[in-house]
Amino acid sequence: MTDQSAEPRTVDPRFAQLSEDKLQLLAGYVADIVALDSDIESVLDRQLGLTKNDSLAGPLVRGFHDSVRDQRNMMIELRDAMGEEQVVHALRDKGSTVLGAVAGVIGKLRGEGISKALRDDYAAFNLAAVSYTMLLTTARAVGSTDMASAAEKGLRTYAAAVQKINHAIPPVVLAELASKNQVSVSSDVAEEVLRTIDSVWKSTDQSKNTPQAAPR
C-alpha cells in the first residue's frame, strides 16, 4: 500500500526533467565533488596562516581558498536543489569517496615549507579537475545544462589554479633555498625554469592529437 502521508519529491525546476535514475547518477558525482571541495577548502584555510607573510604565496593561497569556497557553495546549492531524497540516497550508496585520496595527498599540513604546501595543493587541484571533468561529462550525457555549466566552472577554477602554481613554484623554491643558505641563487634561474615549464606544457599539449568524435 502506498504511504499517502509521504511528502512528494521536491526537485528544483532545473532538474525536474531528469528521470530518477539520471538524478541519482548526478547526485553521486555531486556528493563526491562537495566533499572534495570542502576538504580542499579546509586545508587551504590552514595554509592561510602558513603563507600570510609571503608576498607571492600569501595572495595566491588566499585566492585559491576563496575560489574553492565559492565553488563549493555553488555545488552545495545545486546538490540541495536535486532534492533531499536523491542526496541521502547517493551518500548512502557511494560508500567510499574521493576523500580517501585527498587525505593521502594533503591530509595534514606538515610544516615543511610553502613550496611543499603548494605541491600538495597542485596534486589536490588536479584530482578536483578530473573529478569535475567526470561530472561535466555525465551532466552533458544526461542532458543537465545547469549542472554542466557548474562543472565547467569548477574545472576552470582548478585548471587556472594549477597553472598559477606552475609559475609560482620556481620563485618560491628559490626563496626557500636562499633563506636556508643552501645554494647561491641567481635571479635568472626562475625565469629559465618558467620558460622551460611553458615550453614543456606547450609541447605536450594533446589537443592536436586527440581523435575527434565522428559527426552524427
User: Would you kindly state where each structural domain of the chain is located, as residue ranges?
Assistant: 20-161
Mean pLDDT, rounded, for 167-181: 88
Residue 71, pLDDT above cutoff 90: yes
User: pLDDT tier at 209 (50, 70, 90 boundaries)?
Assistant: low
CATH architecture of the region 20-161: Up-down Bundle (1.20)
The per-residue pLDDT for 181 is 74
The per-residue pLDDT for 135 is 96
Mean pLDDT, rounded, for 171-182: 84
What's the residue count for the chain?
216
Q: How far apart are CA 171 and CA 179, in angstroms?
A: 12
Give one DSSP letter per residue of the chain, joined into a string: ---TTSPPP---TTTTTS-HHHHHHHHHHHHHHHHHHHHHHHHHHHHHHHHTT-TTHHHHHHHHHHHHHHHHHHHHHHHHHT-HHHHHHHHHHH-S-THHHHHHHHSS---S-HHHHHHHHHHHHHHHHHHHHHHHHHHHHHT-HHHHHHHHHHHHHHHHHHHHHHHHHHHHHHHHHHHTT-S---THHHHHHHHHHHHHHHHT--TTTSPPPPP-
Q: Is the dihedral of CA 33, 136, 79, 149 positive or negative?
A: positive
The per-residue pLDDT for 177 is 87
The per-residue pLDDT for 102 is 56
Which residue did the predictor score with more confidence, 71 or 11? Answer: 71
